[in-house]
């Protein structure tokens, strides 16, 4: 048994224990804390599976931003936890049997892999130099499967429209109900003053290096979102009203630039989202710059939620 | 037994655990948590498939990896909408019960906020 296998077994055991904790924990708040730990452990799994790009995304979005969203909700819903109707034993038993069957089926598939594992890695690397990118994952996201990436950006904006449309009439266009903490001169204020310069630098670096190394628009954008939320939660910057024109511009500019480049592809390279060979890298960088900004702002606004007070 | 297989088994178990929590836990917020747990397991199975597809000098097949990155962001978007719906329901009714047939029982337990 090598060190890598022992490490994998340890992480897998820990992950399962935390997952059980998330399911059985008594309060939603502790379950959410467990979920954040689960996300961070999952990021370690991704490193062990040689997928550092995914590890960064999982840590930043799957654990960090999702965790913050759910912690806020758990705190607001704490009063509703007293009157939970418990699930009947037969239902629990039959659900347990179903879940064991599902897990068993998946495990059987995992234990019996095809003799030659299907892979697109050779195809993905073969044409990568034409895009000017060094990171094959970025190549898939922005060249081979750029349409998926574009649609996903649209999904994030649609989600924000969905969240905002839950605004009560009286608060429309007002300030989101992000929970603000911070007493003056608290630890949070200090953190919110010290961390953002570093975090913003790191976010920009992560977006920039994403072309050749693990990183990219999602991970960089999530860091920017975290820094902005930190500054708002600590009351160093006001939460902007959702009717603010600049804010809406920032949300849409990334998908807009990406779409423009996509349509320009018809004229310049013969099809939607195709890049002319000589300009592939600069065009991808322009698209990613807009997307990093839009993702950062949109993720933060999704966590902040719909408007609750009129501006 | 290699690293990928261990995580393959772990991911399978996580899918089952998440599904169990989703079915049995009556609280909507806990269902959202369980659903994310389930999603994490599915992503992990994808990661195992990617790892087994290691070729051309890469540690894994970049295509499933890129899909998982997209998936994580979409899962977050869906979670944000679910949470917003839940909080709005709570603010409107003072209750977040999902059972359709006992509004009276729910009202006696919980007044409006």
Domains and CATH numbers, chain B: 3-109 (1.10.287.3510)
Is residue A95 one of the residues assigned to a domain? no
Do both A140 and A240 map to the same domain? yes
Query: CA B17, B22, B23: angle at the middle one, nearest 5?
Result: 100
Which residue bears the tokens 């920032």? A250
Is residue A85 one of the residues assigned to a domain? no
Do both A73 and A138 map to the same domain? no
Do both A186 and A278 map to the same domain? yes
Do both A156 and A255 map to the same domain? yes
Give the confidence band of A179 by pLDDT, cuts at 50, 70, 90.
Answer: confident
CB nearest A107 (choices: B9, B83, B106): B9
Is residue A272 one of the residues assigned to a domain? yes
Is residue A96 one of the residues assigned to a domain? no
Question: In whole angstroms, what is the distance from residue A11 CA to residue A284 CA?
Answer: 36
Contacts of B32 (CB under 8 A, 6+ apart): A70, B79, B82, B83, B86
CA A187 centroid distance within chain: 27
Do both A139 and A65 map to the same domain? no
Number of domains in chain A: 2
- Among A33, A48, A77, the domain-final residue is A77
How many pairs of residues across A and B have Cβ atoms under 8 Å apart? 293
A7-11, A78-82, A110-114, A282-286, range with the lowest pLDDT: A78-82
The whole-angstrom distance between B95's CA and the closest CA on chain A is 7
A305: domain range?
Answer: 132-311
Do both A138 and A57 map to the same domain? no
CB nearest B69 (choices: A80, A102, A141): A141
% of chain A exceeding 70 in pLDDT: 97
Do both A286 and A171 map to the same domain? yes
% of chain A exceeding 90 in pLDDT: 30
Residues in B touching A120 (Cβ below 8 Å): 53, 61-63
Strand residue runs (E) in chain B: none
- Among A77, A106, A140, the domain-final residue is A77
The whole-angstrom distance between A195's CA and the closest CA on chain B is 24
Average per-residue pLDDT for chain B: 83
Window A:107-146, CB contacts with B under 8 Å: 107, 110-111, 113, 117-122, 124-126, 136-137, 139-141, 144-145
Please write the tens of the pLDDT for every residue from B56-103: 677 788 888 888 988 998 999 999 999 999 998 888 887 777 766 555
* 8 Å CB contact of B26 and A85: yes
Q: Supply A226's token pair.
A: 């975290």
Please write the tens of the pLDDT for every residue from A210-221: 777 777 888 899
* 8 Å CB contact of A12 and B53: no
Do both A64 and A139 map to the same domain? no
The whole-angstrom distance between A264's CA and the closest CA on chain B is 24
Do both A43 and A168 map to the same domain? no
| Collapsed DSSP state (helix, strand, coil) of residue A307 | strand
Do both A69 and A212 map to the same domain? no
Give the confidence band of B111 by pLDDT, cuts at 50, 70, 90.
Answer: very low
Is residue A109 one of the residues assigned to a domain? no
CB nearest A23 (choices: B9, B21, B70): B21
The pLDDT value recorded for residue A182 is 60
Average per-residue pLDDT for chain A: 86
Residues in A touching B85 (Cβ below 8 Å): 166
Q: Give me the mean pLDDT over the A239-264 stretch.
A: 89
A167-171, A208-212, A298-302, range with the lowest pLDDT: A208-212
Question: In whole angstroms, what is the distance from residue A102 CA to residue A291 CA?
Answer: 38
Is residue A142 one of the residues assigned to a domain? yes
Q: Which phi-psi region, left, alpha or beta, contains residue A196 (left: φ > 0; alpha: ψ -120 to 50)?
A: alpha
Is residue A225 one of the residues assigned to a domain? yes
Do both A71 and A156 map to the same domain? no
Is residue A35 one of the residues assigned to a domain? yes
Which chain A residue shows the shortest CA-CA distance from B82? A163
Give the confidence band of A228 by pLDDT, cuts at 50, 70, 90.
Answer: very high
Above 90 in pLDDT, residue A77?
A: no
- Among A77, A107, A142, the domain-final residue is A77
Do both A300 and A167 map to the same domain? yes
Which chain A residue shows the shortest CA-CA distance from B62? A137
Residue that wins the pLDDT comparison between A282 and A253: A253
* 8 Å CB contact of B37 and A19: yes
* 8 Å CB contact of A145 and B66: yes
Q: Supply B106's token pair.
A: 């729910």
Residue that wins the pLDDT comparison between A282 and B76: B76
CB nearest A140 (choices: B21, B37, B63): B63
């Amino acid at each position: 048994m090598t060190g890598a296998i022992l490490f994998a077994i340890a992480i897998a055991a820990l992950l399962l224990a935390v997952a059980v904790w998330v399911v059985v924990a008594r309060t939603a708040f502790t379950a959410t804390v467990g979920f954040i730990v689960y996300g961070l452990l999952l990021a370690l799994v991704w490193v062990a599976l040689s997928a550092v790009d995914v590890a960064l995304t999982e840590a930043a979005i799957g654990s960090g931003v999702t965790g913050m969203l759910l912690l806020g909700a758990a705190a607001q819903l704490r009063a509703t936890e007293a009157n939970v109707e418990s699930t009947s034993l037969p239902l629990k038993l039959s659900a347990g049997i179903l879940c064991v069957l599902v897990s068993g089926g998946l495990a059987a598939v995992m234990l019996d892999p095809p003799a030659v594992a299907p892979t697109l890695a050779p195809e993905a690397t073969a044409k990568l130099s034409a895009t000017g990118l060094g990171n094959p994952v970025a190549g898939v996201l922005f060249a081979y499967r750029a349409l998926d990436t574009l649609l996903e950006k649209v999904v994030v904006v649609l989600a924000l429209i969905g969240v905002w449309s839950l605004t009560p009439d009286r608060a429309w266009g007002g300030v989101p109900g992000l929970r603000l903490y911070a007493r003056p001169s608290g630890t949070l204020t200090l953190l919110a003053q010290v961390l953002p310069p570093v975090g913003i630098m790191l976010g920009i670096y992560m977006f920039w290096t994403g072309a050749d190394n693990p990183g990219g628009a999602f991970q960089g954008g999530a860091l920017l979102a975290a820094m902005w939320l930190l500054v708002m939660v600590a009351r160093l910057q006001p939460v902007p009203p959702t009717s603010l024109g600049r804010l809406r511009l920032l949300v849409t500019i990334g998908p807009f630039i990406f779409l423009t480049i996509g349509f320009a592809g018809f004229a310049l390279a013969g099809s939607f989202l195709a890049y002319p060979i000589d300009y592939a890298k600069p065009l991808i960088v322009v698209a990613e710059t807009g997307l990093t900004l839009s993702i950062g702002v949109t993720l933060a606004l999704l966590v902040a939620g719909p408007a609750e007070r009129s501006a | 037994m290699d690293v990928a297989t261990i995580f393959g088994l772990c991911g399978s178990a996580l899918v089952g655990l998440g599904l169990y929590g989703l079915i049995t836990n009556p609280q909507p917020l806990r269902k959202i948590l369980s659903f994310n747990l389930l999603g994490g397991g599915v992503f992990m199975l994808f990661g195992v498939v990617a790892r087994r597809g290691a070729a051309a000098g890469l540690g894994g097949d970049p295509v499933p990896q890129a899909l998982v990155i997209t998936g994580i962001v979409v899962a977050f978007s869906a979670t944000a909408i679910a949470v917003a719906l839940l909080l709005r329901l709570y603010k409107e009714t003072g209750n977040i019960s999902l059972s359709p047939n006992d509004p009276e029982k729910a009202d006696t337990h919980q007044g409006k906020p």
